Structure 1
Amino acid sequence: MNNLLGVHALVWVGDTGPESVSTAIAQTRAAGFGLLEFSLHDAVSFDLDRTRAELATAGLAAAASRGLSPDADVSSEDPHVVRRGEELLHESLRVTAGFGGTWLTGALYSAFGHARGPLSEAGRRNIVSVLRDLAKDAEELGVTLGLEVCNRYETNVVNTARDALRLADDIGADNVRIHLDTYHMNIEEDDLVRPVHDVGDRLGYVHVGENHRGYLGSGHLDFTGFFHALADIGYDGPVTFESFSSSVIAPGLSTDLAIWRNLWDDGFDLASHARDFLDRGLQAARRR
């Protein structure tokens, strides 16, 4: 069992213009990762053909992640807002497949940010309908969808692993998988072990981030327990390092993510440390 180790592009650059993408690809390869995850907050800037060719030359797999905006929220009860969200998701799928990505994940089910109230039944029905159709198109393109479990301050739809399982059950598509993120789990789950066991073989994508989103091991998260839980279920999917700092600014997204502090200055040092941390931790868990 070997996991493909990935890194989020915001460790390197804040946009997806051609030169920034080239930098992110080169740095990802140099740091020893096998996958690069792009945020689609700046998708309009992508040169899809160039990105696909450069990823292939570097031998890197690719993923994409995104959330939705209030005016394009598929959990809304407003049919016009839902329609805009549906169009945005299908455009995101086109971009992901266009640069050769095999994963489209994130908060695909709602607007990103603090909700004004709980999810309504009508809103939930809209999510299921939209994502069911998106999954059909994604299957034709060879893309797997991830339902990222995010904290209560970023969504009112999926806050725990069990929430994600219920939504995936309702969607009912084999290419819709659960995406766990240690940063969010630290806020919402009782521990970092039970959710992994709950999800089991339906786990498809993993984000590893420290409780403050800085250097791995510098916070209080139980990564040993988490890595052992991944080994327990035989997880062999991607494990992607995610970290944010005010040293790399993504217009709009950095504000949405509340990146107010400079947690690191040297992205390469940060990523190289994370690559070694992940490799050692995962290997040790497999050997026990």
Structure 2
Amino acid sequence: MKSAVTISLVPEARGGPFVYWDDLAAGCRAAAALGFDAVEVFPPGPDAVSPDDLRALLDDNGLALAAVGTGAGWVKHKLSLTSPDDATRDRAVAFVRSVMDLAARFEAPAIIGSMQGKWEGAVSKPVALRYLGHALFKLDQHAADLGTTLLYEPLNRYETNLVNTLGDAAQLLTGASLEHVKILADLYHMNIEEANLPGAIRAAGRHIGHVHFADSNRRAAGLGHTDFAPIVAALADVGYSGYLSAEVLPLPDTDAAARQTIDTFRRLVG
């Protein structure tokens, strides 16, 4: 398994669970100095980051790109894959595709989290799940064309009322016959929704494509009450060799959160 840390470039998301903020170059330098393997970037949109500049930053700092987030699609642009408006759903799919195009240049996946939306008002849960499944099917085809994967993140009940557990996410992916969409297992969300985190990981198994490495209070691993040793053991048991990426609150401050993360990663993984 490999280590990664998040960098948010979205002003509208300030206060959210990202370690580094605003300055991509500074975030890359800090991540490299601490020995992280990669960074996970959350841009305002795909055109906000120059691929050439990003390539140079990664190469200069000996880093890989772990993933690219699409959260700005909702936070900044109010696009949802389950919107009641057909045109909004189409724009949401187009936004995700464009982020996938950027990420694929670095052999990295894009992430769908908050853009999945929720069911409410005129959109019932079955209809919302149909919209979501249809969008994921189209994006699965785009991932196949790019030769990459897409990450789908089940969120806790306070952020969505659609899919909350790894088991439900796996059922959604298999039911829609998706071959290039994997589950992002976020340990913070799992702490809220799963009865047994290692058990949920073992059950989801081959569907897991990425892990957000966060403690029970969404602080850096080791600053809450999550028992990480059996979680890492379960990931090893299912053959997971991807990133443990710190999507955590920058508390008590950015540098301390980053250092706590890499120290815990090294203790658990080596």
1:93 counterpart letter in structure 2: M
From 216, 239, 264, the counterpart of 1:277:
264
Corresponding residue SS for 1:72: coil
Measured at CA, do residues 202 and 215 of structure 1 come closer, stay the same or move farther in structure 2, by a change above 3 Å?
A: closer
The CA deviation string for residues 124-159 of structure 1, in whole angstroms up to 9 with x for no partner, is 222222222212222332331111121011112220
Aligned to 2:56: 53
C-alpha displacement of 1:119: 5.0
Is the 2:133–2:172 Cα contact (8 Å) retained in structure 1? Answer: yes
Deviates more, 1:100-109 or 1:115-124: 115-124
Structure 1: which 5+ residue stretches go unaligned?
A: 246-262, 284-288
- Deviation per CA, 1:64-91: give whole Å up to 9, x if none: 1233428421113321221121121112
Task: Quickly say closer, same or farther: Cα 1:274–1:13, change in 2 above 3 A.
Answer: closer
Q: TM-score by structure 1 length? A: 0.81
TM-score computed with the length of structure 2 as normaliser: 0.85
Which residue is equivalent to 1:286?
none
Identity percentage of aligned residues:
29
Structure 2 residue 95 is matched with structure 1 residue 85: no
In the alignment, which of 173, 179, 202 is matched to residue 178 of structure 2?
Answer: 173
Tell me if the contact between 1:77 and 1:122 (Cα under 8 Å) persists in the aligned partners: no
Q: Which moved more, 1:25-34 or 1:39-48?
A: 39-48
Deviation at 1:115, TM superposition (A): 5.6
In structure 2, the residue corresponding to 1:216 is in which secondary structure?
Answer: coil
Q: For the residues of structure 2 that align with 1:77 and 1:44, how far apart are their CA atoms?
A: 27
For the pair 1:65 / 2:65, whether they are aligned, the reply is no
**1:12 positional shift:** 5.0
Amino acid at match of 1:25: C
Whether 2:148 is the aligned partner of 1:143: answer yes
Residue 6 of structure 1 corresponds to 4
Structure 2 residue runs without a partner (length 5+): 9-17
- CA distance in 1 between counterparts of 2:238 and 2:25 reads 36
Pick closer, same or farther for the CA change 1:41–1:88 going to 2, 3 Å: same
> 1:217–1:108: structure 2 CA closer, same or farther, 3 Å change rule?
closer
| Residue type of the alignment partner of 2:32 | R
Q: Structure 1 pair 241/71, CA: closer, same or farther in 2 (3 Å)?
A: closer
Deviates more, 1:5-14 or 1:176-185: 5-14
Q: Secondary structure at the match of 1:193?
A: helix
Partner of 1:242: 247
**1:106 maps to amino acid:** I
Secondary structure at 1:38's aligned position in 2?
A: strand
* Residues 162/105 of structure 1: CA separation in 2 closer, same or farther (3 Å cut): same
User: What's the Cα RMSD here?
Assistant: 2.2
CA distance in 1, matches of 2:217, 2:70: 20
In structure 1, what is the Cα distance between the partners aligned to 2:20 and 2:257?
Answer: 14
Residue 111 of structure 2: aligned partner: 105
TM superposition outliers: structure 1 runs of 4+ over 4 Å: none
Aligned mate of 1:164, from 157, 164, 169: 169
